[in-house]
Amino acid sequence: MLYEDVKAMLEKRGQEQLLKYYDGLSDSDKEELLCNIEKIDFSVLDMLSSPEMKQVRGVIEPLSALGMDEISAKKDRYNAVGLDAVRKGRVGAILLAGGQGTRLGFDRPKGTYNIGVNRELYIFECLINNLMDVVKESKSWVPIAVMTSNINHEHTVKFFKEHGYFGYNSEYVYFFMQDMAPAADYNGKIYLESEKKPAMSPNGNGGWFTSFVNAGLLGEFRKYGVEWLNVFAVDNVLQRIADPCFVGATIDSGCVCGAKVVSKAAPDEKIGLLVKEDGKPSIVEYYEMTDEMMHSKDENGNRLYNYGVILNYLFNVNEMLRVMEDKLPVHVVEKKIPHIDENGNMVKPSEPNGYKFELLVLDLIHLMRDCLSYEVDREKEFAPVKNLTGIDSVESARKLLEKNGVAI
Ligand code: UTP
């Protein structure tokens, strides 16, 4: 696009501030800026002016889970089905590691954080160690694709290489980059990160499948025979990946997707809940629950809305292809956005100063025909590292690692 065309387009959208420093740039920087602007998906900003685009909920009902007792009773059968699937190459893993981990306050990729105390033990290493349990049991490698963003891609790939893929077979490790979305001030004006760069941030974890397909990796995974993708977050160091029992139970249930859930620690625990919405599986945020829903119980005194998701899902590939073109809701989140001010000075805010726009993997669940809610023991499988201290922190994750016999 020529400068005049970009300028006209920005004026139409009220985003001319992006060209504020254009005249003072070198020719190559001018070109880079125009190119950066052309790549922006401006449509996410419509969320700010059209409240009607916000997610409207349908009728919410409880969704029961396959409980730990039942799983334990059928463990051998589920394990056999799951191991068979892993051995036949039907299961692939997707590690979501494109986030910025702002709450942790660590400026490198979260997976490169050393959670060890007496030895080096990186978050990525914990995850690979967990996956190795399945590799050893099945005697077959599980292909794994790591989703990064253009902010942390290089560092992530280098880190895996430098650490010898933590003993994993590098032929089975892939990387792909997710898309970015603009970050704007409270008036919807996109910030400039530098004179030649609009402020962009990863667009959430919901676009993983499209990015995975666009990177040509579905084709690669298909070569192994992959039919199921186990998607999981980088920050849960106790995450079980390609867990044969979970895979087996999901296949056995006939569902097109499975979600690992934990029983809520308290009625008002801040965790997304797996429920039914208009008859289909869905995840609602804790703040969308009314007091009545939070506390309602069945005739046996069990909480009706009890199962929280831990960002570990198993998706059937064909079902994902079927819904790939469906639109996901865009979530508007308040964040701290570094930028240059009107005088060209760098600002690193200590408080939120605008919006980022994200698609979320949890919204994919509502596009699925059905979903097996599969209960796991939070003490054994849920140790998220979101903060440095307190709830869901380095501190709490270390305790849980030790409790599970992991030397740290
Ligand atoms: P979080 O919601 O915890 O976000 O991500 P975050 O960016 O890592 O951390 P905060 O909120 O800034 O502190 C849950 C999972 O989704 C991935 C993260 O890497 C993590 O595994 N994620 C998040 C992406 O892959 N891409 C994104 O754009 C956002």
Q: Which of 216, 251, 214 is nearest to 230 (CA)?
A: 251
- The pTM of this model reads 0.94
pLDDT tens digits in sequence order for the chain, 408 residues long: 899 999 999 999 999 999 999 999 999 999 999 999 999 999 999 888 776 556 788 999 999 999 999 999 999 999 999 999 999 999 999 999 999 988 898 999 999 999 999 999 999 999 999 999 999 999 999 999 999 999 999 999 999 999 999 999 999 999 999 999 999 999 999 999 999 999 999 999 999 999 999 999 999 999 999 999 999 999 999 999 999 999 999 999 999 999 999 999 998 899 999 999 999 999 999 888 889 998 999 999 999 999 999 999 999 999 999 999 898 999 999 999 999 998 999 999 989 999 999 999 999 999 999 999 999 999 999 999 999 999 999 999 999 999 999 999
What's at 294, amino acid-wise? M
Q: How far is the CA of 384 from the centre of ligand 1 (A)?
A: 11
pLDDT for position 52: 55
Q: How far is the CA of 221 from the centre of ligand 1 (A)?
A: 24
Q: Identify which of 178, 205, 208, 360 to mutate to test ligand 1's pocket (most ligand atoms within 8 A of the CB).
A: 205
Q: How far is the CA of 327 from the centre of ligand 1 (A)?
A: 20
CA-proximal residue: ligand 1, atom 23 (nearest):
99
Q: How far is the CA of 213 from the centre of ligand 1 (A)?
A: 20
Find the residues whose C-beta lies inside 6 A of ligand 1: 96-103, 110, 147, 178, 202-205, 233-235, 386
Backbone angles phi, psi at 161, to 5 degrees: -60, -50
Ordered DSSP codes for 90-113: -EEEEEE-----GGGT-SS-GGG-
Query: Residue 119 in contact with residue 402, Cβ under 8 Å?
Result: no
First to last CA, the chain: 54
Q: Which of 94, 154, 91, 166 is nearest to 124 (CA)?
A: 166
